[in-house]
Amino acid sequence: MHRADSRYSRQTRFAPLGEDGQAKIRAARVAIVGCGALGTVQAEAMARAGVGRLRLIDRDFVEWSNLQRQFLFEEADAAEGLPKAVAAARRLARVNSEVVVEPMVADLTPANAADLFEDIDLILDGTDNFETRFLINDAAVKSGKTWIYGAAVSSYGAQMTIRPRVTPCLRCVFPEMPAPGTSPTCDTAGVILPIIAQIAAHQVAEALKILTHQFEKLHGSLLQFDLWQNTSIRLRLRERSEDCPACRQGRYDFLTARGGQFVTTLCGRNAVQISPSTDAQVDFEELAGRMRDAGEVSYNRFLLKFKSGEHEITVFPDARCIIKGTDDPNVARSIYARYIGA
């Protein structure tokens, strides 16, 4: 059997997919937001399934603590501090050269969401925070694109598929973001690999149903699992909330929040990310020259790293910055203004 015919032979022998389903998968364009634990499992599964185009959107870089649960990354990626989207794309090119992989080293923001999702058929959630998920939800509902929510922390995980104006959206189920400090994070509770694999598996299975237009096979629920406590809950999703600001009222609060900096506390990192509200391009050579007297500086074409005292600053070409050594947004803003600029 020819290599091109044999690669997907076990998948096409699965009767609900077949050759017709494989052709639909090959023609699909999928975006994955976040190349962390969930996102890397999703990305490898989508690449091995033969999805035609895979857009990887991630703002972060590979660290040693990622290797315990984040597929696709190796020790060399952590040692080099590669952007996750770049490292993942390099690995996927070796897994399946037929798939067009687009690494986007960027943060998803209100300013770029429409462009990043414009030519995409399906969005997979690989993020670790509700700010970004609510932004995905607004962008997806406004554009009518299906997206698949997933979350995992400790041994607990949840998954839900959202088809705009067909099923409840994220804000129907979670009208408001959890208040700070009220929910466990991987920083406070840790996370084990098996729950990552389980939630990502449900996301990928739903994705294959959607890409092959088998919407009647979607589970239509909010699934919840705790692998340590051996519990599972399936909450059937009924009607969309009449009070939903997004899918009922057409008010996209997170998509239109363009003022000021976009600040996110990063899960499990004792770090804060700050993104400027306007487009910018950083000259690393010039910035490194200004910083050298204040601390240790190194850079490559992907990022600049600066260490001063207990804080480590990673700057990306678009002026986005990850400040490690604090989880206080106000402290992070002060450090950003001091070294990067207001």
Tell which residue, 125, 122, 46, 127, has the closest CA to residue 89: 46
Which of 169, 186, 247, 321 is catalytic? The answer is: 186
Tell which residue, 57, 51, 55, has the closest CA to residue 99: 51
Q: Is 186 a catalytic residue?
A: yes
Instruction: Output the CA angle 51-55-56, nearest 5 degrees.
Output: 120
**Side chain identity at residue 61, one-letter code:** F
Partner residues linked to 53 by β-bridges: 29, 100
**Side chain identity at residue 175, one-letter code:** P
Q: Which helix (H) or strand (E) holds 123?
A: strand 122-125
Place of tokens 């290797």: 67
Tell which residue, 122, 198, 187, 190, has the closest CA to residue 159: 198
Q: Which helix (H) or strand (E) holds 329?
A: helix 329-339
Q: Which residues are catalytic?
A: 186
